[in-house]
Amino acid sequence: MKHYDMLLRVLALLITLGSPCAAQTRQALLRSVEAPGVVPVGDSLFMDEAEVTNLHWMEYLHFLRNDSSNAFYQSQLPDTLRLRRWLFARHDTINKSRFYYYGYADFRHFPVVGVTYSQVVSYCRWRTAKVREGYLQSADFKKKHKKLLQQYDVVITYRLPTVAEWETAAAAALDPTKAPYGVVRPPVPGTAQYKRGLLRERNDFASCLPAIAEAAPLGAPIFGMEFNVLEKGYVGNTLAPFRCREKPGTSWSATDGTFPQYAYSNPPNGYGLFNMVGNVAELTATPGVAKGGSFGHSILDFTLKTSFPYDGPQEWLGFRCACVVELRRKAVLD
């Protein structure tokens, strides 16, 4: 009889979990966990709302210095020399001491670059461990989710997103054939994207006027670029992008790259994710494959479907974590 009762309970559970209402309830439960730093992009999948920053990496190194061997700590330091050489080659008149990108205070909330695939995998494992032993074990979490924890064990795992997961998050439920960058372009009047001041006057782009004249007739709407890429704006009726000279009189060049920006710069996509396109390209779970383009890429050369090969750390390459939240039902006790 005991085994029969147990079987009935299991069957009832399976029937309940298979219903549409239960699926919605389960999704609500997963989202109620509020895994740190992420926003929902799927049933149990979440994604960092912005790229992992220099400050996040410094926090990681701080813990490693205290908890790990010196050899492992040294192995996790970013390759800052690559970015510094890139900067110095393009900005020979700047104060070089200000462009120690990783350590300079003004860049704390800029995306970390110069990290390898294996370093990032280690970071994801460390972050997972810290959230499991800290956030999930905290008194506040246990108090807030008392009823949930009576039925489930909550498991949070951070890792690199697969290519498919990254593309899904970047598309934000839009058709990639109609919105190849995951946002509506040009922005629709009245929307948040439109209200953020992307509609601009020609004079706002003084150093770009020659390029605008080539791309847009007088009276055509001009928009600031939604992404940190080589181009600074585009013509609304044609989406024709244009670049700006860094200084009046300088020549156009494919190396007129910008620079990484604040991780929360530019309008987010429909899922609330910042800089899925541009700023820095992002590592995926597939070694050697990055997505999203960067400050050094032209908007004409890629879409969300484009993959960027890489070999080792790059000045244009960073990452964000995917996060999987699991609810594991506790054993039913008599």
Please say if the pLDDT value at position 16 is more than 90. Answer: no
pTM, two decimals, is 0.84
Question: pLDDT (tens digit, 9 = 90+) per residue, 34-65?
Answer: 999 999 998 889 999 999 999 999 999 999 99
CA 285 – CA 62 distance, rounded (Å): 25
Task: State residue 314's pLDDT score.
Answer: 93
Q: Which helix (H) or strand (E) holds 222?
A: strand 222-224
Longest CA span, the chain: 89
Which pLDDT belongs to residue 145?
Answer: 94
Provide CB contacts within 8 A for 146, sequence distance 6+.
Answer: none
Instruction: Output the pLDDT for position 249.
Output: 44
**pLDDT 10s digits, 227-242:** 999 998 888 878 889 8
Q: How many CB atoms lie within 10 A of CB 33?
A: 22
In Å, how far from its chain's centre is CA 248?
A: 34
Cα 141–146–147 angle (5° rounding)?
140
User: What does the alpha-carbon distance between residue 278 and residue 261 come to, in Å, rounded to a whole number?
Assistant: 10
Cα separation values, 166 from 220, 228, 242, 273, 281, Å: 34, 18, 27, 11, 11
The answer to whether 310 touches 297, Cβ cutoff 8 Å, is: no
pLDDT of residue 215: 66
